[in-house]
Structure 1
Amino acid sequence: MSDTEPAVANTAPPPAAARARVSRLAVLALVAVLLAAGLAVLSWFDARARISATQEELARRLREIESDAREARAAARQAQEAMREAQVRLGQLDARLGEWQSQQLALEALYQELSRNRDEWQLAEIEQVLAIASQQLQLARNVRAALLALQLAEARLSRADRPQFAPIRRALARDIERLKAAPAIDFPALAMRLDNLIASVDALPLAFEERA
């Protein structure tokens, strides 16, 4: 028995070496744990920083969107104000246009009335002159006075410059030439022609009737 005991004792590891190995393993494990914890902490801080940056970016974009929305609402209000002002101005222009049209109608009516009165006055004057010429021929046999009356009537018709007076002017011109050229005149026939001219003057259309 005493011979085998030293051999057994030689094969067992020394207690100090085993403790040293265990200590190294423990240290390695602790280092690994610390490294893992450090990496976890770094990852957490990195994730937190990224989340914070993302939140700030989202907040910035949200502020930009709100600013754009405010500007859009302000632009919309300005556009609505401009639209209302344009509608007001358009209403004012419509009112002025209505007034202008009313004034135009009133002026047109006044012009027609003046034209009617002027044409009636001119025709009445021509009728009077022709009646004088007819009386001079029928009653006084005054060729010179009748000729002057016909020339006066023709001159006034010429100044009036109305197309509807052209037939009367042509007839007057023929009678004036007869009075100038013929020493022996058929006074009754010429007086009858003047009466027919007076009737023709009565039948002439006025200027406003032609426009209508």
Structure 2
Amino acid sequence: MECPPTFGTDPQLIQAIIAGGTEAIFRAKEGAEDDGQEGREDLEKIGFCEKDVLVGLAASGRTPYVLGAMAYAREKGAPIIAVTCCPDSAIDQMADIGIAPMPGPEVITGSTRLKSGTAEKMVLNMLSTTVMIQMGKVYGNLMVDVKATNEKLLERTVRIVKTCTHASDEEARRVLKECEYSAKAAIVMILTGAGSQEAKALLEEKNGRIQEILKAAQKEGASV
């Protein structure tokens, strides 16, 4: 899952389950998708509750594993989104929100791992990206909650801070080091003059939303 390194989320925030378990990602387990009870049990195992949102994917719109999971989510009172390439299918009708991309016939008839699978992955990209924007994980179009866990991401973090603040490379690196390589904290520090601890406290107070911190600073007469 790319959300933790890209957006700094807890690994438990967005979880994926698949018929047949993790092994099915690497080796096909064709019959697993026909077990609706397994869909229910897999959600129960991860502690799915009414505060969660279920996104069920089935190109055909009638996969028993997905339908079983959706039935469990309905019993829990959780919102349900269906992603399918068959509008008005069983999962589409069971969901609160149905998203049905129409990729057209597959090059190899019935091989929905091709266009249908790609179309559904693009829908997931849109959903996760929109959610992260709404959560304040993005500033402008920059991933300001990125975790600098390797050299590539460290350099990206430096570029993000420089882009947002027009700081020099030297200043960006110095401030990032002071705030333990939090791009958000570094941006707030440079643009408001706050210290590391103050910047982190402001981010905590404003739920990580840089825009709100800068608006408040401007109201107080700061030049941002």
TM-score relative to the length of structure 1: 0.23
Structure having the higher strand fraction is: 2
Structure having the higher helix fraction is: 1
TM-score relative to the length of structure 2: 0.22
Question: Per chain length, whose mean CA-contact separation is higher, i.e. which structure has more relative contact order (CA < 8 Å, sep 6+)?
Answer: 1
